[in-house]
Amino acid sequence: MSATQHQIEGVITQGVTLARGFRAAGVSAGISALEGKKDVALVVNDGPLKNAAAVFTTNRFAAAPVLWSQQVVGDGRVDAVLLNSGGANACTGAPGFQDTHTSAEHVADLLNISAGDVLVCSTGLIGQRLPLDNLLAGSEQAARALGVSPSDSLAAAEAIMTTDTVPKQAAICVEVEQGGDYLIGGMAKGAGMLAPGLATMLVVLTTDAVLSPEDLDTALRQAVRLSFNRADADGCMSTNDTVVLMGSGASGLVPDLVGFTEALTKVCQDLALQLIGDAEGASHDIHVRTFNAATEEEAEEVSRAVSRSNLFKTAIFGNDPNWGRILSEVGTTSADFDPENVNVLINGVQVCTGGGIGQDRKLVDLAADRKVTVEIDLAAGEHEATIWTNDLTHDYVHENSAYSS
């Protein structure tokens, strides 16, 4: 059935098992340094379609599982995704790539599928080999534990956590006018090294809509552009970022691609905001919106410049609405604007008017709420873009200075 009309319902707190045709599991295999922590997850597409698309980090030191998975998804088919926390398997050379290959073959044997259809994702410390025996044993446990319940979905989301403090899941139901619905679900991990290309993240997205690999790819790239690539916690890019979208076709509904992309973007944005909300050591979630820009690209450039300023981020941590630090970053960009026409608002208070002094900055209360909204009016056009970031705290410095010890 072709679904041309749709109604997008609110985001649901369940992940990859909400969509029909998918099973998941998360188990403890002793890979993580935290005793008893779940550290191996498995997500399986039971079809009838096994279509997929994925995007990966642009870091030139891409990890072994990224190099493997880029090959796997090349034909638009993924039957299963094996994920682990507790080790990134990055910068491990040919032996690390062989470990990834071996783990994919092991999952393929367990599920009676082809190793060339098994995506592999790893997250954790760079520069160490994974304990392969643990990973293989964990994949066996996960294969036996596969299920479709919310608890199975949650277990998988918990297994991919590293410095995350909470699991991250989202899903959505799209009702079609002709009757019936299709579903999109997802899980994500990430709390630091969040920057475009994609973030230190692993994301698995599932849908039971009927879509070709090409349409899945089109929708995914647009959704990622407006979600994960707008999350910029600390300007650092990981070696392991992977976002995969699998389509089972189990709903029997062929969605309007525009409507599907809108729904997928909503799920991805919800997950991206969860990543920012759990950023390492953060005490404020900051939305930097640049509007009335000449182009969307220029609006994004301005918002990103501000979001990456350590001076700005530390000011927000100190509850100091220092708008001068915002304006000085805007001035470093190539965006088209007249400095005498730029306005800046912090939590709705116009602290800068026409590039100069606006309302009293003391009217801005940054201590009352975790969320901070910065709005930059360039008065140069009709476009806008928002970057999501967070403040820079003592806890962030402490957590990352002791990460590998």
Sole residue written with tokens 């682990």: 84
Q: What is the pLDDT of residues 295-336, one digit of tens each?
A: 999 999 999 999 989 899 999 999 999 999 999 999 999 999
Mean pLDDT of 238-258: 93
Mean pLDDT of 114-133: 94
Question: Which range, 14-28, 267-281, 383-397, is most confident?
Answer: 14-28
So what's the pLDDT on residue 391?
Answer: 84
Which residue from 191, 197, 199 is spatially nearest to 167, judged by alpha carbons?
191
Integer CA distances (angstroms), 151 to 40, 70, 148, 204, 262, in order: 15, 30, 8, 16, 27
CATH of 2-277, one of 3.60.70.12, 3.40.720.10, 3.20.20.140, 3.30.830.10: 3.60.70.12
The domain segmentation of the chain, as residue ranges, is 2-277, 285-401
Dihedral sign from CA coordinates of 92, 245, 189, 278: positive
How are strands ordered across the β-sheet holding 168-176? 6-8, 168-176, 181-189, 202-207, 242-247, 51-56
The yes-or-no verdict on residue 163 having pLDDT over 90 is: no
Instruction: Name the packing angle between helices 93-111 and 132-145 (round to 10°).
Output: 20
So what's the pLDDT on residue 372?
Answer: 95
Q: What is the dihedral of CA 74, 79, 85, 91, to 10 degrees?
A: -30
Using CA atoms, how far apart are residues 323 and 345, in angstroms rounded to an integer?
9
So what's the pLDDT on residue 4?
Answer: 47
So what's the pLDDT on residue 211?
Answer: 98
> What's the CATH fold of domain 285-401?
Ubiquitin-like (UB roll) (3.10.20)
% of the chain at pLDDT higher than 90: 75
So what's the pLDDT on residue 199?
Answer: 44
Using CA atoms, how far apart are residues 210 and 248, in angstroms rounded to an integer?
7
So what's the pLDDT on residue 201?
Answer: 77
Using CA atoms, how far apart are residues 305 and 326, in angstroms rounded to an integer?
9
So what's the pLDDT on residue 51?
Answer: 98
Token digits of residue 98: 């062989």
* 241 pLDDT tier (thresholds 50, 70, 90): confident
% of the chain at pLDDT higher than 70: 90
User: Which residues are annotated as catalytic?
Assistant: 200
The yes-or-no verdict on residue 192 having pLDDT over 80 is: no
The yes-or-no verdict on residue 405 having pLDDT over 70 is: no
Token digits of residue 32: 């993580």
When the pLDDT of each residue in the chain is averaged and rounded to a whole number, the result is 91
Question: Left (φ > 0), alpha (ψ -120 to 50) or beta: where does 199 sit?
Answer: left
Strand 2-3 relative to strand 349-353, pairing = unpaired
* 90 pLDDT tier (thresholds 50, 70, 90): very high
Instruction: Name the packing angle between helices 323-330 and 310-317 (round to 10°).
Output: 160
* 254 pLDDT tier (thresholds 50, 70, 90): very high
Contacts with 257 (C-beta within 8 Å, 6 or more apart), sequence order: 211, 215, 218, 219
CA atoms within 13 A on the CB side of 305: 19
Using CA atoms, how far apart are residues 200 and 124, in angstroms rounded to an integer?
10
Using CA atoms, how far apart are residues 189 and 207, in angstroms rounded to an integer?
19
So what's the pLDDT on residue 5?
Answer: 41
Which is more confident, 294 or 196?
294
* 43 pLDDT tier (thresholds 50, 70, 90): very high
Token digits of residue 29: 């295999």
Backbone angles phi, psi at 335, to 5 degrees: -65, 150
So what's the pLDDT on residue 124?
Answer: 85
Q: What is the pLDDT of residues 1-39, one digit of tens each?
A: 444 444 566 676 789 999 999 999 999 999 998 888 999
CA 102 to chain centroid, in Å, comes to 27
Sole residue written with tokens 């993924």: 78
By mean pLDDT, which of 12-16, 74-78, 158-162, 269-273 is the weakest?
A: 12-16
| Identity of the residue numbered 301 | E
Integer CA distances (angstroms), 385 to 230, 263, 302, 304, 349, in order: 9, 19, 9, 9, 20
So what's the pLDDT on residue 33?
Answer: 85
Mean pLDDT of 267-289: 87
* 200 pLDDT tier (thresholds 50, 70, 90): low
Which residue from 279, 304, 297 is spatially nearest to 391, judged by alpha carbons?
279
By mean pLDDT, which of 31-40, 130-139, 151-160 is the weakest?
A: 31-40
